[in-house]
Amino acid sequence: MDALLADDLARLPELLGMTREYATRFLTGLAERPVAHVEWRAVSKAVGLPAQGQGLEGALAEFGARWEEGLSASAGPRYLGFVTGGATPAGLAGDWLTAAFDQNAASGGDSCAAELEKETLGWLRELFGLGAAHHGAFVSGASMSNTVGLAIAREWVGRRLGVRVSEAGAAALGPVEVLSGSPHSSVGKALSVLGIGRERLRTVPTLPGREAVDVDALAAALAALDGRPAIVVANAGTVNTVDFDDLRAIAALRDRFDFWLHVDAAFGGFAALSPAHAHLTAGLDLADSVCVDLHKWLNVPYDSAVQFTRHLELQTAVFHNASPYLGAPDPADPDFLHLTPENSRRLRALPAWLTLAAYGAAGHREIVVRNTASAASLAAALDAHPAFRVLAPARLNVVCFTLADRPTPARLAALSSAVTASGEAFLTPTVYAGAPALRAAFSNWRTTEADTRRVLDALVAAAGS
């Protein structure tokens, strides 16, 4: 054994303790760390591959000297860009243990890892109000969850047309119509990967002043297909304003039209936990496939999401791995390697299992309720301030706003840069209803009303500078 490896093995308890202390210093320093670090390129210059290593202790020291300063405080309470959760203590512990256990959760042939994933999926089904007909699997994120769901949808369309796409290929299928009101950008990416093509995504008119699809317009678009099967991508929470399609009304259209219903509930699915917002997810169980991202509002570390579908046989047809050493999939209970693009699968379920076991539905409900209250508070404060204009109601956890005076892209970029430079907060830009805007997305378990006030103060200061 290499001498450095042997020494690290002999010192493993000491080195793990040192790593724990390093992580603890980072996490306890989040309040003082700039929320985003845009000048990180000045921190470190690239070096070549070391011919000789220096052991874990030396490598940690070099990382601290060259790279740590450039990391953001994305795990902290005022990182409001994108839709980024943190990691609850239990979620963090689960991720550390996942690496320590190093299980391949592809199948149940050698450990209980797959059964733990199944139990976790059952808990999540209950959390989101999905029935037992929905089978699930962990994937890396919402983009992959959407891709998996749409791959199953592609197979379904093929079966309706007498084509086994998983065997004959997408070229044998012909054009596929994909309809959506306000599709996330990852949907277009998935269609590109799947050979359906970005151009097949047709945006359907939305309700006035909303991002929710006009169900009557959707019905008209489906009627125009003259019976050809299609895919409808509905939203349970849009990116800009967390708007929700009427899932029940869309599902009811299947009495008249032939389509697969995929619901992108990447973070909006967590509205099911909030007594004041649970009605927004009504009809989620009626979907043929569902995407939910866990490293957003469940607050487990990256990368973690789930994909659910009521069509297990089609999913297995798409993703099964035909190899003698892996075995044929059990039609009633296929191993996970037959359900997603991955053969080798990290035990992503463990952080989710631990945080659900640690805090239960009630603990995660409190996070959702607190975050939505923070969003409502910031929206009200911005709406009352003469420098800002809120562009849409804060329906759940995102505040979409712009400058009241001359909201040009350059002025919004300057405002965003000033807030980032202050170190107090980080927000990401968007365009809503033709207006350049900023988004503040609340999904971190640490965020309190005091953090919301600090974000508001930073915005007001930046707007006045």
Strands 305-309 and 135-139: antiparallel
The H or E element spanning position 179 is strand 178-180
Burial of 320 (0-12, 13-18, 19+ CB in 10 A): middle
Sorting pLDDT into bands at 50, 70 and 90, what band is 42? low
Confidence of residue 43 (pLDDT cuts 50, 70, 90): low
Most confident of 103-107, 328-332, 365-369: 365-369
Least reliable range by pLDDT among 63-67, 192-196, 250-254: 63-67
What number is the average pLDDT over the span 294-299?
98
**Which tokens belong to 309?**
């579908």
DSSP 340: S
Q: What are the beta bridge partners of residue 137?
A: 307
pLDDT of residue 38: 77
Tokens 């791959």 correspond to what residue? 151
Q: What is the DSSP string of 77-124?
A: TTB-STT-----HHHHHHHHHHHHH--BTT-SSSSSHHHHHHHHHHHH
CA dihedral sign, ordered 316, 317, 318, 321: positive
Look at residue 222 and tell me whether its pLDDT is greater than 80. Answer: yes
The confidence score (pLDDT) of residue 364 equals 98
Beginning with the edge strand found earlier in the chain, give each strand of the sheet holding 388-390 in spatial order. Answer: 388-390, 398-403, 435-441, 428-432
> Is residue 412 pLDDT above 80, yes or no?
yes
Q: Is 120 exposed, middle or buried (0-12, 13-18, 19+ CB in 10 A)?
A: buried
Beta bridge partners of 290: 263, 308
Angle, helices 113-128/349-384, rounded to nearest 10 degrees: 30
The number of beta carbons lying within 10 Å of the beta carbon of residue 220 is: 12
CB atoms within 10 A of CB 251: 20
Closest CA to 232 of 242, 217, 243: 217
Share the mean pLDDT of the chain: 96
**Encoded tokens for 205:** 């008119």
414-432 confidence digits (pLDDT tens): 999 999 999 999 999 999 9
* 37 confidence band (pLDDT: 50, 70, 90): confident
User: Mean pLDDT across the stretch 97-102?
Assistant: 97
Going from the C-alpha of 313 to that of each of 92, 134, 156, 173, 375, the distances in angstroms are 35, 12, 10, 19, 41
Beta strand pairing status for 259-264 and 201-203?
A: unpaired
pLDDT at 39 over 60: yes
CA distance 459 to 461: 5
SS3 assignment, position 265? coil
Q: What would the DSSP string read from start to end of 402-450?
A: EESS---HHHHHHHHHHHHHHTS-B-EEEEETTEEEEEEE---TT--HH
Q: What is the rounded CA–CA span in Å between residue 272 and residue 78? A: 24
What token pair was written down for 327? Answer: 């075995």
In terms of Cβ atoms closer than 10 Å to its own Cβ (0-12, 13-18, 19+), residue 4 is middle
Please give the pLDDT value at position 343: 94
Helix axes 449-464, 349-384, angle to 10 degrees: 50
Tokens of 7: 């020494």
In angstroms, the CA 121 to CA 134 distance is 10
Residue 342 phi, psi (nearest 5):
-85, 135
pLDDT tens-digit readout, 433-452: 999 999 999 999 999 999 99
User: Which range among 194-198, 208-212, 330-334 shows the weakest confidence by mean pLDDT?
Assistant: 330-334
